[in-house]
Each structure stands twice: as structure tokens, then as C-alpha cells.
Amino acid sequence: MFKLNENYLKLPGSYLFSTIGKKVNAYSAAHPDKKIIRLGIGDVTQPLAPAIIEALHSAVDEMGHAETFHGYAPDLGYEFLRDAIAENDYRARGCDISPDEIFVSDGAKCDSSNIQEIFGLDNRIAVCDPVYPVYVDSNVMAGRTGTYDKNTETWSDVIYMPCTAANGFAPELPKETPDLIYLCFPNNPTGATVTKAQLQEWVDYANRVGAVIIYDAAYEAYISDADVPHSIYECQGAQTCAIELRSFSKNAGFTGVRLGFTVIPKELKCGDVMLHSLWARRHGTKYNGAPYIVQRAGEAVYSEAGKEQLKQQVAYYMKNASYIYNGLKEAGFTVSGGVNAPYIWLKTPGNMTSWEFFDTLLENVNVVGTPGSGFGPSGEGYFRLTAFGSYENTVEAVDRIKTLKL
């Protein structure tokens, strides 16, 4: 008789954003007349930039003719895209990353959940608390997290690194030594960042204790401060301890297009074995490449026209971020984030829990956000709003929130 992967049954609830989706759909079905504004899930709303649309059309045309048709993509991704990434995201910032250290994928969610697979089950993971739930959930599914404590909402074998108001939402080096350290900056959900000097401490620490940093830089396009690094490879020695995850979802609006990449430097080794080889084996065996047309769209992100158009798109969302940040601050909320990141992190008013505030917003002003507790126990009492709505909706949402009698 077949047996289930019992680790799946340990997961305490649905995936966070599935739960939110169901709650919102239920409310919407019961109140079809209400106009709900969604600033919950980090989904973008602006259309793809013209340079990207043009690249997509052109690639679609290629697929319609035998001479220019493209079948299976190369395992690691097309060279034209990996060259553009290496040049623009790395060489231009002084990072020594070569195209063949870049693995093109269908997005950072898959990569961030699959990357744990090349490590043994006996590795101890450390995560920021709060953080994007996929890191912990994917390790739960693999059986790396021990037992779940309902009261503390923590896993026995996970090292939580609290990111709180007290430390400016930037984690301190953990007391217990981890093997794998998940870092995400600009942070989802808090919008907090670390400076290059702070990140250098993490790199030095990882090299010292023999840990691997899995660095999720999905939001790097939103960085405006000069001392905040866009890539972990801006730090000395990161090549021997860090994997970097990148996404096209937020810098280019690809949430529904699906494209991302992972960087594994060849210097990152366990004994003689390159992690690069293991991930290459996984890519070759369990993945079949991102669509040709999507990789061409990714290339257009780095064209002159694409860069200019996307700079404006990022600015559009950051105008929203500013509006939310300032509006809620004026209304008396305690807010952070929103400067180098498209997320605003606010303290729930009074003694409300995150989910109580979620329900209050949804029911009273029809605004959807994300409960901070969904990102980890230290997120309790906080709430995330995203800047990815339209400007009009963002303004209306903030104005509605201001009317709340709390």
C-alpha cells in the first residue's frame, strides 16, 4: 500500500495567499456590490511595457515558421538572456558573475522552493521572521523542520531570526549556527533593507561557519539608497557562500509571464563538489526551460527602451508606496518600509491581531492586505500593504483606511 509524504500533513494551514484568496472570494460572493481594493498579494497591475510586448510579438512570429521555430531550450536558458543578465545585473555593478553561473527559470517562487532540494535533510535552516512563507513551507515539505508548536507557531528545527521594530527589521546573527540562511532584501514583507556593510557581515559569517546564504533579491529594482546592495555579490567573498535568486515579476511586471533566475557561483563548493553541478543536474532532469518567447521578453527588459520604460513603471509603484506610507503615517499609524521596497509594513492599531485587522479592513472598508502573522510569529501585530495597485485604487484605499474608527 502506498504511503504519503507525511511532512505535507504537518503544514498547519493552506499556503498564505491561497487562504487570503479564499477569504476575499467568499466576502466578494456575499457582497457582490462592494468594490474591493486588493493590496494583499504582491501582484502587479500595470501592463507589460511596450518594449516587452514588441519582443513577445516578434518571438511569437518566429515560432510560426519552421526556419525560426524554437523547441526545447538549452538547460540553463538561452545565451542571449544569460549574457544580458550577466552584463546588466552583475558586471555593471562590479560583480564577477559569468553567464554560465546563471540558471534561467520560470520564477523565483519555484527556485526558492526547489533550491533546498540540493541540500541534505540534515541541514539546519535559519529564516528571517517574518518572511516570505515559501522558504519555511518548502523545507517543511522536505522534512527538514522538525515538529510544529501551535502555541508559538514555530518549527522545532528552524532557527528564527526576529526582525522587529527594535532591530529596524534587520536580523542579527543567530546564536545557534545554521547551515542554510535565507535572507530576503529588500525584505518581503517588511520592506526593510540592509546596507552593504551589514550584508558583508552576513557573508563573512557564512564563510566562517560554513553556511550557505540563499539570497532572495526579487525586489532589488526598488532600491533607491546608494548604500543598499542590489546583489549579494557586491560583497567580498559572497562567491564562496551565496546563492542569489532573482525575479522578473516585480521589476518588469512578469507575475503572469513567469521568468526568474538563480545564480550559483562555481566557487561555491562542499568539498570538491560544486553546488552549481547539483543544480545543473536538477535543471536538466526536473525542468525543461522557460518558454522561448518569455526568454525573449526577458531580454527586452535589458534593452535601452525596456530599461527606460521599466524605470517609469517602478517609479509609478513607488509613488503608490509613498502615498500609502505618508497617508497612513498622517493618520497615526506606525509604518515602515516603502522607501527601497514596494511594501509598507504597519503596526496594527490597538491590540488587534494581524488577522483581526485583515477582517476589519476587508469588512469595513473593503481593502485587502496581508496579515503579518502569515509571514512568521514576529509578524503578529503587523500588516503588509503593497504598492502594486493602480494609483487611483491606492489613493482610494488609503482614504478609506483613514475613515476607520479604531
Residues of this chain, 209-238, that bind a second copy according to CB under 8 A: 209-212
* Bridge partners (DSSP) listed for residue 212: 180
Q: Which of 34, 35, 61, 224 binds a second copy (CB under 8 A)?
A: 61
C-alpha pair distances (Å), 25 with each of 20, 38, 255, 368: 8, 11, 20, 11
Which residue type, as a one-letter code, is found at position 350?
Answer: G
* Bridge partners (DSSP) listed for residue 1: none
Residue 387 in contact with a second copy, rule: CB under 8 A = no
Q: Which of residues 84-113 bind a second copy (CB under 8 A)?
A: 106-107, 109-110, 113
By C-beta, is 82 or 169 nearer to a second copy? 82
Q: Which candidate, 130, 122, 181, 184, places its Cα nearest to that of 157?
A: 122
By C-beta, is 287 or 355 nearer to a second copy? 287
Q: Which of residues 137-166 bind a second copy (CB under 8 A)?
A: 137-138, 141
Q: Which of 126, 159, 252, 290 binds a second copy (CB under 8 A)?
A: 290
Q: Which of 30, 32, 33, 64 binds a second copy (CB under 8 A)?
A: 64
The x, y and z cell numbers of residue 112, run together, are 526558492
Residue 243 in contact with a second copy, rule: CB under 8 A = no
Q: Which stretch binds a second copy (CB under 8 A): 218-226, 251-259, 304-312, 394-402?
A: 251-259
Q: Which stretch binds a second copy (CB under 8 A): 82-90, 121-129, 191-199, 300-308?
A: 121-129
b/e per residue 252-286 (b: at least 16 CB within 10 A): bbbbebbbbbbbbbeebeeeeebbbeebbeebeee
By C-beta, is 3 or 150 nearer to a second copy? 3
Give the other-Cβ count within 10 Å of 387's Cβ.
28
Inter-residue contact 232 to 194 (CB < 8 Å): no
Residue 270 in contact with a second copy, rule: CB under 8 A = yes
The nearest distance, CB 233 to a second copy, in angstroms, is 19
By C-beta, is 230 or 258 nearer to a second copy? 258
The x, y and z cell numbers of residue 141, run together, are 515539505
Distance between start and end Cα atoms, the chain? 56
CA distance 214 to 202: 11
The nearest distance, CB 262 to a second copy, in angstroms, is 14
Residue 3 in contact with a second copy, rule: CB under 8 A = yes
Residue 257 in contact with a second copy, rule: CB under 8 A = yes
Question: What residues contact residue 307 under an 8 Å CB cut-off, 6+ apart?
Answer: 301
